[in-house]
Structure 1
Amino acid sequence: MVNNLTRRPGSELATASTRAEDAYARIRAQLGAVRPAGTPRTAPPVDRLALLAEACDEETFRLVMDWLASTAARTTTSKRAYADDIRHWAGVTAEHGQRFNLDAITPGVLTTWRLSEEERGRAASTINRRLSALQSLHDFHAHREGRHPVKLVTRFDRPKIDRSAAATRSTPVLEADELQRLMDACSDRHEVLVVLLTYTLAGRVSELCAADLADLENSGRTCRLHLDRKGGKERVFTIPPELCELLDDVTAGRTGGRLLLRADGSPYTPASVDRLLTRLGRNARVRTCPAAYTGRGRRPKGDEDKPRHSFRTCDRCRDITPHVLRASRLTHMHDQDVPLEEIQRYADHADPATTLGYIRQRDDEGLKARLAAASVDLYRHVLDRWTVSQGDR
C-alpha cells in the first residue's frame, strides 16, 4: 500500500495547523523532484517525497520525514542526498521482498550489500556516505524512542579510504594555461562569471547556485558575498575589486533573483554549470586527447571499422566539472606556499586531512627522490667501503 501524502509525517507535523502545513510544504520544496533511475530522459521528474512514500512503510515514512526535517541534514543539498540514499536502501530491501524499514537492514544484508557494491566498482566514499545516512536515521530513531543508540553500521562494515589521496585521484587539477584556455572559451560574460567565481572562491557549485542577488553586498569598488556553506555554516567572502566590476556589469538593472543567471535570464543550476564546464573544456581542448577531435563524423578511408572516439570511455579525456575548479584553486594556493591551515579555513573543511585530499602534491616523485637521496650522507662511508669502484669492474 502506498502512503497517503495528505497525512503529515511525524507527531508534530501531523498536527492540523497552519504552521504544520507550512513545515510540510517546506520539506516537499526542499526535497524537490528527481527523475528515477531507469526512466526515459523525456519522462517528467517526480517529487522525492512521493518516491519515499512509495518506498517506505507508513511508520518508516513518517520517521524519515521527521529525520529530514531535523538538523541532521542542515542544507537543502544534504536533505536531497539523504533522501536519495534512503531510496537506494529501499531498493536493497526491495530485493528481499520488503518495503524499507530499519528492521529489514540486518548485519547480513549490510555485508552482502557492501561486497556487491565493491564488486561493481563503487567508490569507497560512496559506500561510506550511504552507510552514514543509514546510521544517522538509525540514531535519530533511537533518540525518538528514548533508547541508547546502538551501532547498526560498525567500522567492520566500512571500506578503508585513503583520505589524503582518494579525493584527487579522480579529480584532475588544471594548470594555469589550461585554466586560461577554459576562460577564453566562454561565449558571454555570464559564463565567464560562473567560471571565475567558482574558481576564485573554491566554491561548491550548489552553494553558488543557491546564492541570491540579495546576498551580494556592494560597497564602492569592493563587494562581499554571503554564502550558506555545507553544514549550515554562513560565510562572507570579500570579492576582488576586478571581479566586483564584472558582477556589477552582469547584475546591472536587476533587483532580485538568483545571483548567477544565464544569458537568457534562467538561473544556473548545479547540473547546468556542470554541462557548461564540460562544453568549455572540450571546446578549449583541456584535458582531452588528440583523438577526440579526429574521426568524428566520416571516418578516414581505410578506418571504416575503427570505432569513433568516446569521451566517456577514453582514459585520457576528462570532463571539467565544478569540483575540478575547486580542487585546482586549493592546489594553486598550496603552490603559492599558502599555509595548510589557511587553505583549510578557506575551503571550510573541518578536518585538515580533507584539505590534504584536495591538494595535489607537486613533483611527488621528485620529492621522494630528494628525501631518499638525503639519507645517503649517513651511510656514504659504508657505500665507499663496500661498493666496487668503476675502475675495478
Structure 2
Amino acid sequence: MAARKKQESRIDLRHARAALPETAGRLLDDYERHLRLERGLSEHTVRAYLGDVVSLLDFLHGKASTARSAALDGLDVAVLRAWLADQRNQGASRTTLARRSAAVRTFTAWARRTGELETDPGARLVAPRTHRTLPAVLRQGEASDVLEASNAGAEQADPQALRDHAVLELLYAAAVRVSELCGLDIADVDFGSRVLRVLGKGGKERVVPFGVPADRALRAWLDKGRPAMVAAATKADTMALFIGVRGGRLDPRAARRIVHDAVNSVPGAADMGPHGLRHSAATHLLEGGADLRSVQELLGHATLATTQLYTHVTVERLKAIHDRAHPRAR
C-alpha cells in the first residue's frame, strides 16, 4: 500500500511539472541540478524539495489571470502565505507546513542568488512552529538484549544472520544513518583504528568510531558471512560493505526490516527502525557522560540545535549532575 502511494505521488509530481509553463520547467531543471550536483542531496530529499516547489509554481501560475512572461513573475511573500494557507485548508499538518516553508525558503534564496528574483520573499516568510516529538528509545538493557539475541543467531554461522548482527552492532555503535550504513564500502572500515569513514548529508565526510563488539561482528561478517553470500549470488557488488541476498548493495528498506525484526524479538521494547536505534545510541552516550558537542560530531549534525532536538538527557542524569555540581545539592 505504501509503495503504491509513493508511486502515485511520483506520477502526480511528473504530471504537475509537465503542466507548468516552459519557463518554469527550465527553472526547475536548473534548480534540480543545483540540488543534486552542488548540494549533493539524496534522491529522497531532492524529490521532496522539487515536489514542494512544483506545488508552489502550480499555485502561482494557476492563480494568474494572464499568462506570465517569466517563471517567477508575481512571486512575493503574499503569494507564499496564500499558498501555505491553501495547503492548510487541504489538511496539511503543522509539521508538513513547516517543512514546505523551509523548502520554498531554500528555493527563493537560490532564485535570488541566481538572479531569477530581485528580492527574496522567502526571507520574510515565518514558518509555523511544529510539535516536536522525540522517537522512542531503547533502554540500555533492552539494547543489550537486542544485540545479544542477534549474536545468538550469528553464532550459528548463517551468512545472513552474521550480516544482520553486524548491521545492528554498527548502527548502535556508530549511530550512523541507515543511508550512511548502506553506502559504506569495505574500504571505509579501518580496523586498526576502529573507525568508519562515513559520507553524510550534503556529501560531508566524517570519521566515526566503533567499539569492540561491532569490530568482532564486522570481522565475522567479512570473514565468513560475506564470502558465502557472494558465492551464492549471481553477481555481487565487490565494494559494498553490506550486500543483499542477490549480491547487490544492501537496500535501506532491508536494513529497516533487520532492525524491526530484531527489536520486536525483545519483549516490551518499543518498535523502531534504524533511526530509533541511532537515537537510542545518542541518548545512551549522553547518559554515560558524553557532552552534547561530541554527540553532534558523532551524529553528523550541522548545528547543535538539531542534536538538542534528537537527543535528550534523562532525569536521572540531570539529578546526578545536580548532586555532583550544585553547592546546595546536599
**TM-score using structure 2 length:** 0.72
Question: Is it true that 1:258 corresponds to 2:228 in the alignment?
Answer: no
Cα displacement string for residues 296-340 of structure 1 (whole angstroms, at most 9, x for unaligned residues): xxxxxxxxxxxxxxxxxxxxxx53021111111111111011122
Instruction: State the partner residue of 2:304.
Output: 352
Q: Larger helix proportion, structure 1 or 2? A: 2
Change (3 A) 1:147 1:84: closer
SS at match of 1:236: strand
Question: Is it true that 1:140 corresponds to 2:110 in the alignment?
Answer: yes
From 217, 220, 227, give the equivalent of 1:249.
220
Cα displacement string for residues 273-293 of structure 1 (whole angstroms, at most 9, x for unaligned residues): 223322333332344xxxxxx
CA distance in 2, matches of 1:147, 1:54: 22
Instruction: State the partner residue of 2:100.
Output: 130
From 252, 274, 277, give the equivalent of 1:270.
252
Question: Is it true that 1:231 corresponds to 2:202 in the alignment?
Answer: yes
Cα displacement string for residues 134-164 of structure 1 (whole angstroms, at most 9, x for unaligned residues): 22222323333376542235243x01257xx
SS at match of 2:206: strand
Q: Which runs of 5+ in 2 are unaligned?
A: 64-70, 154-160, 231-236
Q: How does 1:171-186 map to 2 (within 5 A)?
A: 171-186=135-150
SS at match of 2:114: helix
CA distance in 1, matches of 2:171, 2:12: 29
**TM-score using structure 1 length:** 0.62
CA distance in 2, matches of 1:178, 1:361: 18
Q: How does 1:167-316 map to 2 (within 5 A)?
A: 169-186=133-150, 187=153, 188-219=161-192, 222-252=193-223, 253=227, 256-263=238-245, 265-287=247-269
Q: Which runs of 5+ in 1 are unaligned?
A: 1-33, 288-317, 378-393
Q: How many residues align?
A: 295
Change (3 A) 1:227 1:357: same
CA distance in 1, matches of 2:25, 2:220: 47
CA contact (8 A) 2:35 2:41 kept: no
Change (3 A) 1:104 1:201: farther
From 319, 323, 336, give the equivalent of 2:271.
319
Percent identity of equivalent pairs: 22
SS at match of 2:18: helix
CA contact (8 A) 1:182 1:286 kept: no
CA distance in 1, matches of 2:23, 2:33: 16
Instruction: State the partner residue of 1:336.
Output: 288
CA distance in 1, matches of 2:128, 2:257: 31
CA contact (8 A) 1:102 1:138 kept: no
Give the superposition deviation at 1:228.
0.9
